[in-house]
């Protein structure tokens, strides 16, 4: 008989997840430079809902235009965006999945070409190979910019107005996400993008209320989270994705102890699950990689803070995902690249792990 694991239900507030498997957010770089979803998004996200994922999460979706990584990223900065996303969330629901949106701001890692065009910065007066223009990007501390690729010529240090604008943009984006039919809002605070840039002393050299102490560096994320929680209904869950560590032990940086402490603060603000990734702040990072490489970070947060956690990274096998939930190491398993290789990973896993797999398949395919 099937022991409670990957295919056990999970209730977060009034949201009932049919299983513990989620499609990890993955940029598709497939919008025209207007941030609107295309047929690609509908088919890509729709296929994975058909494929048995309990949660289908959108790619990093920009809360304002300058918060896009590339000019081809998805956005949610107008009502038109919400209307265009609505049929996608409806389809995911029809397949028994829970639609989630990752709300993002790329900070100083914005205005870049797509990975297949080199992922290099596009200056405000330049265009990418498709003719899409670059823009001036926002940074907590331009002088601390660690270049991942190419120089960054045009960076603006975030002013108090910019900071308030970002918080408002997140609040408005959450309201629109709700109208679009999303059930879960995830705040993206990982991978060296804006909110992580404020968290980490590697990129935050500010001397105002948003820099210096742990309290100050975490302030922007706490204010953004509170703004999202304020408009997201009490019965629906909010997630936050963080980098559990910068993987930079040779210098002052963001680490797992700070992450555990932050996770407790986020839980107090009404966050239901911390999605634990890592890295992305500096090219000197020494990350291990390989199967389950970020799981110990998720586990440390699950033990040290009173909050559910999601594990992600190097999870490719049904038995592996099953063990993470069954052994109490994580509450949710997010799968990225394996879901690109196999959109039906969820159905395959149900087939291997449970007795009633045929019932999981869409009626059209049984």
Instruction: For tokens 């890692």, name the residue.
Output: 109
* Choice between 341 and 366, CB closer to ligand FNR: 341
- Which residue is at the shortest CB distance from ligand FNR? 336
**Distance of closest approach, residue 215 Cβ to ligand FNR, in angstroms:** 25
Q: Could you say which residues in the range 191-230 bind ligand FNR, by CB under 6 A?
A: 191
Q: Which two tokens stand for residue 290?
A: 């390989």
Q: In the stretch 294-313, what mask flags binding to ligand FNR with x, by CB under 6 A?
A: ------------------xx
Among 7, 22, 54, 59, binds ligand FNR (CB under 6 A): 59
Applying CB under 6 A, does 67 fall inside the site for ligand FNR?
Answer: no
Applying CB under 6 A, does 60 fall inside the site for ligand FNR?
Answer: yes
Instruction: Determine whether 29 is an active site residue.
Output: no
Give 314-323's long-range contacts (Cβ < 8 A, gap of 24+): 314/289, 314/290, 315/291, 316/291, 318/6, 318/348, 318/349, 318/352, 318/353, 319/352, 319/353, 320/291, 320/292, 321/6, 321/20, 321/21, 321/349, 322/5, 322/6, 322/349, 322/353, 323/5
Distance CA 108, CA 254 (A): 18
Among 142, 165, 304, 336, binds ligand FNR (CB under 6 A): 336
Contact 272, 13 (CB under 8 A): yes
Instruction: For tokens 């634990």, name the residue.
Output: 276
Number of residues that bind ligand FNR (CB under 6 A): 20
Among the listed residues 302, 186, 237, 295, the one whose alpha carbon sits nearest the alpha carbon of residue 10? 237
**Distance of closest approach, residue 208 Cβ to ligand FNR, in angstroms:** 28
Among 25, 121, 140, 310, binds ligand FNR (CB under 6 A): 25
Distance CA 303, CA 306 (A): 8
Q: Which two tokens stand for residue 111?
A: 């205005």
Element (H, E) at 339: helix 337-341
* Choice between 102 and 258, CB closer to ligand FNR: 102
Among 6, 185, 190, 309, binds ligand FNR (CB under 6 A): 190
Applying CB under 6 A, does 75 fall inside the site for ligand FNR?
Answer: no
**Distance of closest approach, residue 277 Cβ to ligand FNR, in angstroms:** 5
Applying CB under 6 A, does 245 fall inside the site for ligand FNR?
Answer: no
Catalytic residue among 29, 145, 170, 193: 193
Positions that interact with ligand FNR (CB under 6 A): 24-27, 59-60, 102, 188, 190-191, 241, 277, 312-315, 335-338
Positions annotated as catalytic residues are 193
């Amino acid at each position: 008989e099937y022991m409670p694991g990957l295919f056990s239900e999970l209730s977060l507030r009034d949201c009932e997840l049919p299983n513990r498997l989620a499609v990890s957010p993955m940029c598709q770089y497939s919008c025209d430079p207007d941030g609107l979803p295309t047929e690609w998004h509908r088919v890509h996200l729709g296929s994975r809902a058909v494929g048995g994922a309990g949660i289908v999460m959108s790619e990093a979706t920009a809360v304002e235009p300058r918060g896009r990584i590339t000019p081809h990223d998805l956005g949610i900065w107008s009502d038109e965006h919400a209307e265009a996303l609505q049929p996608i969330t409806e389809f995911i629901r029809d397949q028994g999945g829970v639609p989630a949106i990752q709300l993002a701001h790329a900070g100083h890692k914005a205005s870049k070409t797509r990975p297949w065009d080199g992922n290099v910065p596009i200056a405000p007066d330049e265009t990418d190979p498709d003719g899409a223009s670059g823009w001036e990007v926002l940074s907590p501390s331009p002088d601390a910019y660690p270049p991942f690729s190419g120089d960054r010529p045009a960076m603006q240090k975030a002013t108090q107005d910019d900071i308030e604008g970002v918080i408002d943009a997140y609040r408005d984006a959450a309201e629109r996400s709700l109208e679009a039919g999303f059930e879960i809002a995830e705040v993206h605070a990982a991978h060296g993008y804006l909110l992580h840039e404020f968290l980490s002393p590697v990129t935050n050299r500010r001397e105002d209320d948003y820099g210096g102490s742990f309290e100050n560096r975490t302030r922007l994320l706490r204010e953004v989270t509170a703004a999202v929680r304020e408009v997201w209904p009490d019965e629906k869950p909010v997630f936050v994705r963080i980098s559990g560590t910068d993987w930079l032990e040779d210098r002052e940086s963001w680490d797992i102890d700070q992450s555990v402490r932050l996770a407790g603060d986020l839980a107090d603000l009404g966050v239901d699950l911390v999605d634990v990734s890592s890295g992305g702040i500096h090219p000197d990072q020494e990350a291990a990689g390989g199967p389950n490489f970020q799981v110990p970070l998720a586990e440390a947060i699950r033990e040290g803070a009173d909050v559910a956690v999601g594990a992600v990274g190097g999870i490719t096998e049904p038995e592996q995902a099953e063990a993470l939930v069954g052994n109490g190491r994580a509450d949710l398993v997010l799968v990225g690249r394996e879901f690109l290789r196999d959109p039906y990973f969820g159905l395959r896993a149900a087939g291997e792990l449970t007795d009633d797999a045929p019932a999981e398949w869409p009626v059209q395919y049984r």
